[in-house]
Structure 1
Amino acid sequence: MAAVGAAPATSGLMGLGELQVRLPATRTQWLALLAGVGFGLVGAELAWHHPLSGPIALAAWGAVVLLAALFWVKTPVLLLAPLPLVGLAPWTGWISFEEMDLLVTACGCGGYLAYALQLNARDRAPAWRHGLVYSPVVVVLLIALALSAAWSMRRGFADAGGFAFGWFHGYHEAMNSVRNAKAIFLVLAMLPLWTAAATARPRGFSRGLLLGLVLALAGGSAAALWERLAFTGLLDFSTDYRTTALFWEMHVGGAALDGFLVLTLPFALLALLRTRSPWRFAIGLVVALLAAYACLTTFSRGVYLALPLALVPMVMLADAQRRRAAASGPESSSIDSSLGAVDAPLPRLAKVGALAMAGAFALAAALVFGGGGYRGLLALFFVMVILLTMPASLWLPPLGQRLTALLMGGVLALLLGGASWLLAMAVPKAAYVLNVVALLCCAALRWRDAPGQARPIYAVLVTTAWFWLVTTMVIVADYWGGTSGRWTAGAAGLALAGLWAVMLLEPRLWPLQGAGSHGKAGWRKRALLVAGLLMVMAIVAALGGGGYLRDRVATWKEDGQTRLTHWREGLRLLHGGRQWLLGKGAGRFVPSNFYEGPISSQVGDYRLRRDPTESYLALAAGKHVLGRGEQFRISQRIPAPAPGPVSITLVHRTAADALMVLQVCEKNLIYPDNCYGIQPMLKPLRAEAPPAEGGNEAAATGMGEWQTSQFQLGTVPALGGDWWAPRFVTFSMALDTRGARVDIARIAMQDSQGHQLLVNGDFNREMARWFFSSDRHHLPWHIKNAALHVLFEQGLVGLALLGGAYLLALVRLSFGRGRDHPLAPAIVAALIGFGAVGAFDSLLDAPRIGFIFFTLLLLGLGLRALPGEGVARVA
């Protein structure tokens, strides 16, 4: 699909407000019409079978179709922005299909129909304006990737005993192959539409892609913020609780949130670096800080490693783009009015100064927090804020006068500091008041700056006030932490004072050159630096104040050995050259590990079965050691029960004694809290008389007879959390006897006011509304390495193809034809970050993460900057 808007077919023209709709005029447009109809049929069928409400899902799907038709160039926004928030599996029970599939089919239906009917058609664009172009080699590579994935899915069906369709299949059944392989096919299905969009409006398409990823990051980070606020508290870094946000794919562990963050955060940072609009900058800064907090609360060593590995190349590539844009002349650097001019790269000495300032603050923060706690760290933060806002007029006096200002300022600050110390010792809380007074003095002096005027006395006053602020920071740390706070904060204060002295005497080290009162982008640079200070503070606070993170960092060697053992055991599941070459099949690691792996890999499972009269759930426990939280759970999200007793009616049978766990908890995904439940021992019921000829199903399987039991959970208080930080309420059932099996025909739960809390308790709608999880035992569910995951499913052939595409995209966007595309640095950073996190987790077995990854990978193989566009044309 190379162009949009061929010659109009006037016979089919009809007015629709200001829109124009024409009949397809080319073969490409007729193919697009067929694609749109195909997407529509599949999407409508999926929506109608949605477990929560078919009519509502169909109406919502139709609304997205309409939006996609009206804004078909911006379909990346419609697809990517809601992605982290629309995973409703804990409510629906769907895992083979999900809301992402509805989004893709809706955007594909609306987009392809709009293209086919030439809605908002544009004149045919010349070849030089095509923003997404694939060479013949890349086209062959894409076809090979698709064939490898399709063959892997076919092998997965065969390994599962043949293809069998099911709306609610689990990890052992055939539809899990579809779940694992579908991401690349969904992206490939959208790629022709995106190619047409990038041809019609290349900048609009790129801006849509950027906006979609930034909005997705905002939504995912907001969900992480809610989760911490509701379940742990914002500053609790010691509780054994890793953020999962709304990524249901982490119900059996994994790193879906980790992969999502490293794939999207670079785009928010790139937008933040390049926007010139103050309000956009403010919004972007909030998003970046939220994302940084989410990254921190994953407690993932892979994320902590991936971010520097990814962001350093991004900054270098963005800097190289700026240099090329500046070298090509003002014409290439021209931009639209909303974005401003391209910033000149920092001189070398200024970069040294910036690194020295960053290192000094990181060291000072660690020292101050260790002795002075959060209050000392806050005082240090304001010291650095005042330092970053030092007026440019301080460097106007000659060197001798600046040296005199330093010496006099130091002496006067020592006198003020000594007096402040005595006052703080005599008057309670005076340390905090003096710190605020010093901060206000610094702010007042900054406000009284006279840009462009050399005023030696003013330099003395500013230096004195700032040095005094440093001493009050030491006093605050001493007041809070005693002797240890005094000495650690004192060492930090001396280091910062020495750094400021060097920078005042040598202006070329000051990293904010040209960002004074007359610098147009001065506020941006300072705001970015302040945001960096906040991130450093958060990292220091998490490391210094959170025992959980320190424990995880300390156990990296033991965890690494566990990973190596798990990888070796996973690769032993490949038998023969054929499986090594072509893989065992998509979605087949979990069942292969279950049946052929060690006992610890035989986790719990469920099957929905049907006897002649009704459906029932066969629930089995794992054979590994069932410690706290390691049971296999079947759960359902329920409304908060009314305070009071809760009763459960259970129709069940079992072959042997089985300890069952029935609980109502406040729980997002895998960390239960405020649990109320019982653990009844279920015993088999045997028929008194032998069965007639032919027997019954219970006798054939060795199971006992069906029996009905009543249980009381006791008095359950009000659950659900606060209105401003609500908690989900979940009912779960599990077995705490190794290798036990219990069949459940019906289950009902009633609160004190007679409300029925469970839906589909008789399983006649299959597993609709029921969801499963393994809260703590995660290794059997993932091979824990993205490359090994591809090797296991697609063999060496698939790994070579995907690895080649990955390397080709990196090289193309770093050194090839795509290097000057505005989004190239962020895509490179996202792919590198994905690779770093993927070294320790599978990632591609989470379809939403796979969809984002393949979107960036396949676009990275074709994106190119328009001639003369330059980096300044920020998407």
Structure 2
Amino acid sequence: MAAVGATPAGTGLLGLGELRLSRPATKTQWLALTASLALGLIGAELAWHHPLSAPLALAAWGAVALLAALFWVKTPLLLFAPLPLIGLAPWSGWITFEEMDLLVTACGCGGYLAYALQLNARDRAPAWRHALAFSPAVVVLILALVLSTLWGVKRGFDDAGGFVFGWYQGYHEAMNSVRNAKALFLALVLLPLWTAAAAARPRGFSRGVLLGLVLALAGASASALWERLAFTGLLDFSTDYRTTGLFWEMHVGGAALDGFLMLTLPFALLGLLRTRSPAHFVAGMAIVLLAAYAVLTTFSRGVYLALPLAVIPLVLLADAQRRRAASGGPESSHIDSTLGEVDAPLPRLAKLGALALAGAFALAAALVFTGGGYRGLLALLSVMVILLAMPPSLWRPSVGQRLTAVIMGALLALLLGALSWALSTAVPKAAYVLNVVALLCCAALRWRDVPGQTRPVYVLLVTTAWFWLLTTMVIVADYWGGTAGRWTSLAAGVALGAVWSAMLLEQRLWPLTSTGKAGWRKRALLVAGLLLVMAIVAALGGGAYLRDRMATWKEDGETRLTHWEDGLRLLHGGQQWLLGKGAGRFVTSNLYDGPTHYQVGDYRLRRDERESFLALTSGKHMQGRGEQFRVSQRIDAPAPGPVTVTVVSRTANDAHLALQLCEKNLLYPENCVGTQMGLKPMRAEGAAPDSPGQWQTSKVQLGTVPAMGGDWWAPRFVTFSMSLNTTSARVDIARIAMHDAQGRPLLVNGDFNREMAHWFFSSDRYHLPWHIKNVALHVLFEQGLLGLALLGGAYVLALVRLSFGRGRDHPLAPAIVAALIGFGTVGAFDSLLDAPRIGFVFFTLLLLGLGLRALPGEGVARVA
């Protein structure tokens, strides 16, 4: 799509207000129109079959298509922003198809239509403005990867016994091959449109990608915040509860949220580094801190490792871009330098001071939290914020005057601290009030700074106030934690006081010499870093769960190695090693060919001569409460009181059917009531011993249900589930109904006449049989060594292009490199690509990495 918005002579124009439309005139435009119609038909068909509401789905799909037509250059924004919030599988029962498919088809339909009809047309883009262009070698590589994926789908169909279409198939049927492979094709569907958008308005397209992924990060992080508020509390780091957000793909474990955070967080960090708008900076800082909380509550050691491995290249590549932009040499003649001057590198002593300051704070945070808890940690933060805001005028007096200020300030602060401690012991809560008063005094003195004037008395006052603030931090820790808080915080205060005194006496140790907007932005970033360190200290010091996970890394690593070996044993013969076993076939291979303890439960929808029924089976492994395979449905909160369940079922052998009603997001049930039904086979006289038996109706009460649903500001989902608490059992369920104390029916599609609409499934605690737990091994299993080599080659090539090649000066290059590195690190411990939403974002960034290049006048231009 090199020809963007061309308007050949003789083509009629239709005026629609300020919009200008033109009939397709070129072959490319006719192809775009064809693509628009095809995506429109597919999207409308999907929307019409949406399990929750076809009219609403059609209306939403049409609205997105219209927005995509009006703002076709910004379709990445329309697509990425809602992505973490639109997974409705726990309500709809859809897993092969989902709302992401509707979103992609709507954006493609509207975007290609706008291109074909030249909506808001622009002049033809010259070749030098093609910001997204693929070399012939890259095109061949992408086509080879597509063919490998298609072949994997075919092999998956064959392994499943042939292709059979279905709207509600599970992990063992043919449509699971489509589910596992569709992410690459969804990304490719939009690639020609985005190639045209990047040529027409390169900066607008880049900003759309950046803003879309930042908003996606905000949505994912907000869902994590809601989940913690609703189910654990914000500061509970001891409960065995790993955040999943609204990523339904984690219903059988996995790391969908982890992968999504690592794919999107680098773009928020890049925007934070690039923006010069105070409002944008504050918004970006809020999103990054919210994301840091989400990262922390994943309790994922892979994410904790991936974060520094991704952030370090991001900062280095962004800094290298700015330096090339500022150098003005021949190499940077095509680079825009609108970011302003690049800060000079820190001198050696300043680097030493920065390390000392960071080390002193990390040590102080650990000591203060140990004895002073969250209150002491908050007081420590106020100390550090004031320290980072120290004005440059403090170093104008002579060394002797500054030494006098340190000594006299320390003595005066000790006197004020003694009086404050005496008052805190006599008056309840006075410790907190005194800390606030000292903080306000420091802030007022900072406000009264006069830059450029030498004022020794002002230095004395600032030093005294800060040392007093430091003593009130000790007092707060002592008031809350007693003797332990007193001595640990005192040690922290001595360390911080010594570091600050050395820096005040030797200015070359002070690392924050920048002034103006650049200086305040740097200090704000450092405050964010302090908050992150505090969060880590609080999680490690106040959360037994994270400490336990860190302590068991060796045992978990050995388990993971054994699991990888078991997974690779499922590949038989050279052909499967070369070409793979087929997309989406790992779970089924485990079920039939894996170790007994990996043979988990399943469900299938069957039909006899009269009606549809659900065939529910249990696994062969040891089953506890969390290991049972569950079929569930999200329902409205029932009225408090008794809940009655009526089940029409049959079984060939004795089995126990567990029925449960819980407040539950995805994996962790809370506030449950339930019962267990003992089912026995009922056979007609003369029937075979292994016959399924006759249908029988059972009616049970789950018990008295308390008020459910949570608070309005942190609602809890209510889920009904059924499972078998008997090893190697099968129960057929023809109908199931549930009524609350007011007689209201709570279940939808209880007769399964709409197949599995509204029904979902999960394995809450038993996850290994569902994933091979490594991205490379996942690709190897599904597409063989050939597919792994193709995807690995594309991955490495994208990193090289954006780090050292032609794409290194594109505004998005540092963030894409960091995202791919973070994804690869998390993917070393989990499959990731078996979650289509995560795979879609990954393949989109991978394809962009293979084609993006910097343009004259763009370079490191701001995209935030």
State the TM-score, normalized to the length of structure 1: 0.96
- Return the offset for 1:332: 7.3
Gaps of 5+ in 1: 692-698
CA distance in 1, matches of 2:8, 2:71: 20
Task: Quote the Cα distance in structure 1 between the aligned partners of 2:752 and 2:12.
Answer: 51
Match of 1:678 in 2: 675
- The answer on 1:570 being equivalent to 2:559 is no
Task: Output the CA distance in 1 between the equivalents of 2:603 and 2:560.
Answer: 27
Alignment of 1:712-791 (within 5 A): 712-791=701-780
**Corresponding residue SS for 1:520:** helix
Does the CA-based 8 Å contact 1:346-1:511 persist in structure 2? no
C-alpha distance in structure 1 between counterparts of 2:690 and 2:839, whole Å: 41
User: Which of 588, 593, 598 matches 1:596?
Assistant: 593
Deviating more after overlay: 799-808 vs 325-334: 325-334
User: Alpha-carbon deviation of 1:484?
Assistant: 2.2
Aligned residue runs from structure 1 range 515-664, under 5 A = 515=515, 519-664=516-661
Whole-angstrom distance in 2 between the partners of 1:343 and 1:66: 43
Indicate if the aligned counterparts of 2:325 and 2:337 stay in contact, CA closer than 8 A. no
1:136 positional shift: 1.1
Following TM superposition, by how much is the alpha carbon of 1:402 offset from its aligned partner in structure 2, in angstroms?
Answer: 2.0
Q: What residue number does 1:814 align with?
A: 803
Equivalent residue number for residue 106 of structure 1 = 106
Alignment of 1:334-345 (within 5 A): 341-345=340-344
Q: Secondary structure at the match of 1:674?
A: strand
Name the counterpart of 2:306.
306
- Where 1:241 maps in the other structure, the secondary structure is coil
Q: CA shift at 1:400, angstroms? A: 2.7
SS at match of 1:811: helix
Distance 1:558 1:322 in 2: 44
1:619 and 1:742 in contact (8 A); partners too:
yes
- Contact kept? 1:821, 1:863, Cα under 8 Å: yes
Q: Contact (CA 8 Å) 1:325, 1:872: kept in 2 or not?
A: no
CA contact (8 A) 1:651 1:745 kept: yes
Inter-partner Cα distance in structure 1 for 2:334 and 2:669: 56
TM-aligned CA distance change 1:700 to 1:47, over 3 Å = farther
Question: 2:397, 2:324 → 1: CA distance?
Answer: 36
SS of residue matched to 1:132? coil
Q: CA deviation at 1:741?
A: 0.5
Per the alignment, do residues 217 and 342 of structure 1 end up closer, same or farther by CA in structure 2, a change over 3 Å counting?
Answer: farther
Gaps of 5+ in 2: none
Residue 133 of structure 1 deviates from its aligned partner by: 1.2
Instruction: Name the counterpart of 1:359.
Output: 359
Alignment of 1:181-580 (within 5 A): 181-328=181-328, 341-349=340-348, 350-515=350-515, 519-580=516-577
Aligned to 1:849: 838
Q: Which moved more, 1:769-778 or 1:38-47?
A: 38-47
Amino acid at match of 2:752: F
Q: 1:331: Cα distance to partner? A: 9.0
SS in 1 for 2:517: coil
Contact 2:172 2:585 in 1 (8 A): yes
Residues 311-332 of structure 1 deviation map (CA, whole Å, 9 limit, x = unaligned):
0111111111121111128997
Q: How many angstroms does 1:419 deviate by?
A: 3.0
- Offset of 1:687 from its aligned partner? 1.2
Q: Which residue type is aligned with residue 190 of structure 2?
A: M
Partner residue, 2:174: 174
Q: C-alpha separation between the residues in 1 aligned to 2:814 and 2:356?
A: 25
Moved more, 433-442 or 712-721: 433-442
* Cα separation, 2, equivalents of 1:291 and 1:125: 38
Kindly indicate whether the alpha-carbon contact (under 8 Å) linking 1:600 and 1:625 is maintained by their aligned counterparts in 2: yes
Q: 1:750-784: per-residue Cα shift (whole Å, max 9, x none)?
A: 11112111110000100000000000000000000
Q: Distance in 2 between matches of 1:19 and 1:568?
A: 60
Say if 1:814 and 1:825, in contact at 8 Å, map to a contact too: yes
**1:677 deviation in Å?**
1.0
Q: Aligned partners of 2:335, 2:2: CA distance in 1, in Å? A: 28
Distance 2:657 2:9 in 1: 69
Query: SS where residue 851 of structure 2 aligns?
Result: coil
The residue type equivalent to 1:497 in the other structure is G
Indicate the percent of aligned positions where both proteins have the same amino acid.
79
Find the aligned partners of 1:700 and 1:173 in 2 and give their Cα distance: 29
Aligned mates of 1:250, 1:106 — CA distance in 2: 26
Give yes or no for contact 1:342–1:872 (8 Å, CA) kept in 2: no
Contact 1:423 1:430 in 2 (8 A): yes
CA distance in 1: counterparts of 2:376 and 2:842, whole angstroms: 42
Distance 1:315 1:552 in 2: 29
Asked whether the equivalents of residues 8 and 22 of structure 1 are also in contact (C-alpha less than 8 Å), the reply is no
Partner of 1:748, secondary structure, is strand
Q: Which residue does 2:136 correspond to in 1?
A: 136
Number of residues paired by the alignment? 861
Q: Which moved more, 1:484-493 or 1:655-664?
A: 484-493
Q: Answer whether contact 2:336 2:856 (CA < 8 A) is retained.
A: no
CA contact (8 A) 1:322 1:343 kept: yes
- Give the match's secondary structure for 1:731: strand
**Corresponding residue SS for 1:521:** helix
Report what 2:666 is aligned to.
669
Letter in 1 for 2:589: S
The answer to whether the 8 Å contact 2:623/2:725 transfers is yes
Look up the SS of the partner of 2:124 in the other structure: coil
Given residue 528 of structure 1, which amino acid in structure 2 is its aligned partner? L
C-alpha root-mean-square deviation of aligned residues, in Å?
Answer: 1.6
Q: Which residue of 1 aligns with 2:790?
A: 801
Structure 2: how far apart are the matches of 1:645 and 1:418?
Answer: 62
CA distance in 1, matches of 2:429, 2:342: 45
Q: Is the 8 A contact 2:335 2:856 kept in 1?
A: no
Cα drift, residue 712 of structure 1: 1.0
Which amino acid in structure 2 is aligned with residue 326 of structure 1? Answer: A
How much does 1:334 deviate? 6.0
Partner deviation per Cα, 1:51-98 (whole Å, 9 max, x = no partner): 111121111111111111111111101111000000000001000000
Answer whether contact 1:341 1:872 (CA < 8 A) is retained. no
Alpha-carbon deviations, 1:128-178, whole Å to 9, x = none?
A: 111111111111111111111111111111111111111001000000000
Structure 1 equivalent of residue 82 of structure 2? 82
Relative to structure 1, is the Cα distance of residues 724 and 358 closer, same or farther in structure 2, using a 3 angstrom cutoff? same
Deviations 1:674-704, CA, capped at 9 Å, x for gaps = 111111111111213x36xxxxxxx696211
Deviations 1:14-72 (A, max 9, x none): 11111111111111111111111111111111111101111211111111111111111
Rounded to whole Å, the distance in 1 between the matches of 2:341 and 2:608 is: 71
Instruction: Give yes or no for contact 1:326–1:344 (8 Å, CA) kept in 2.
Output: no
**Which amino acid is the alignment partner of residue 82 of structure 1?**
P
Cα drift, residue 812 of structure 1: 0.9
1:847-874 alpha-carbon deviations (Å, 9 max, x no partner):
0000000111110111111124332433
Structure 1 Cα separation of the partners of residues 171 and 234 of structure 2? 35
- What is the one-letter code of the residue matched to 1:582? L
Residue 201 and residue 466 in structure 1: after superposition, are their counterparts in 2 closer, same or farther (change >3 A)?
Answer: same
Contact 2:651 2:692 in 1 (8 A): yes
More displaced 10-residue stretch of structure 1: 7-16 or 596-605: 7-16
Moved more, 409-418 or 557-566: 409-418
Q: Is the 8 A contact 1:333 1:341 kept in 2?
A: no
Alignment check: 8 A CA contact 1:322 1:344 kept: no
Q: How far off its partner does 1:345 sit?
A: 4.5
